[in-house]
Amino acid sequence: MKASLAFLFLFLFLQLPISAACEFPYFYTTADDLEIKEEPKHDSQTTKTISRLKFGRCIEKSKTENLPKQPYFYQVRYEDATEGWVDSTKIFFIKEPVGTESFHKKKAEVTVSNIRRDPPRPTEFVISFDETKQLLFARGTFYFSDGGDGFLFVWKIVEGDTKLIHTTGNYAQVYLKENRLIEVWPNNSITIYDFTTDNGKDILAKYLSGQYSSYRTMEQISFFSTYNEMRALGFPNSSIPKTTFDLKNSRFTLEVYSKTNLHLKAVSYTFEDGKIKPMD
């Protein structure tokens, strides 16, 4: 009888999952259609299926000792508050200390490195960190099956974490004025974004689904086309515009030249409350 009880206790002990601390607190996933389980086992109910390239915090890990060939499960909480158990083979840890510059750059590197589509081609990019404005930038080129495209990614550091708040496709020049980002496009049109209105958006969905090779996101608070302005001033489409920025004083000047480089007119504008206004 005693032997039977001992065997029963041993059997129950081996069936119970053993919990432990996660190796590192932060992780990311690159699997498509990843299943979030209600319990740490494969036959558990799937509570949610998420798309690839998601970040989150690891709560604990669990392993069933009598099934050593089975993978661990991790209890996780994603940035959108989704919580559950995930197969350990589907997640990767970020080893850098959370909140450090190296941690922010690692999250940016992971994001940019995983936007490639088939066929796989190298992604070239440079990551820079603006400590005074708590912004992180990545510039470079990524590739889809339909060709390459330039990009600019911008992250905002919010409460020690990295929130992706903006990305754009082909662009000419980018200027940063406090919490505003000013894009000057190849046709000299201007777009302004106000980062104070956003706390991070998941803007990679269309990239990762392969729907678009370039697009602009985030609320557009002002749009100004220099070509439309030139037509309003009475200049033909053949005129050549040149835009000069004075970010210190929140203004810019549009100069118009003829085909023979004759200076025709200069008009100045100012930024006030996120809007472009002509100066007297």
Q: pLDDT digits over 85-141, tens only? A: 999 888 899 999 998 999 999 999 998 887 766 566 667 889 998 887 788 999 887
Can you tell me the distance from the alpha carbon of 92 to that of 105, in angstroms, rounded to the nearest whole number? Answer: 16
DSSP state of 120: P
Q: With contact defined as beta carbons under 8 Å apart, do 265 and 256 qualify?
A: yes
Q: Calculate Rg over the CA atoms of the chain.
A: 26
Neighbour tally for 93: CB within 10 Å: 14
Q: What is the pLDDT of residue 75?
A: 94
Can you tell me the distance from the alpha carbon of 68 to that of 65, in angstroms, rounded to the nearest whole number? Answer: 6
Q: Give the pLDDT mean for 165-172.
A: 72
Q: Which residue has the higher pLDDT, 236 or 107?
A: 107
Neighbour tally for 218: CB within 10 Å: 19
Q: Give the pLDDT mean for 216-236.
A: 71
Give the model confidence (pLDDT) of 7-58 as tens digits.
444 444 444 445 678 889 999 988 878 899 999 888 899 999 887 788 999 9
Confidence band for 171, pLDDT divided at 50, 70 and 90: low
Q: Give the pLDDT mean for 223-246.
A: 82
Q: With contact defined as beta carbons under 8 Å apart, do 227 and 138 qualify?
A: no
Q: What is the pLDDT of residue 37?
A: 94
Neighbouring C-alpha atoms within 13 Å toward the C-beta of 74: 24
Can you tell me the distance from the alpha carbon of 113 to that of 111, in angstroms, rounded to the nearest whole number? Answer: 6
| pTM exceeds 0.85 | no
DSSP state of 3: H
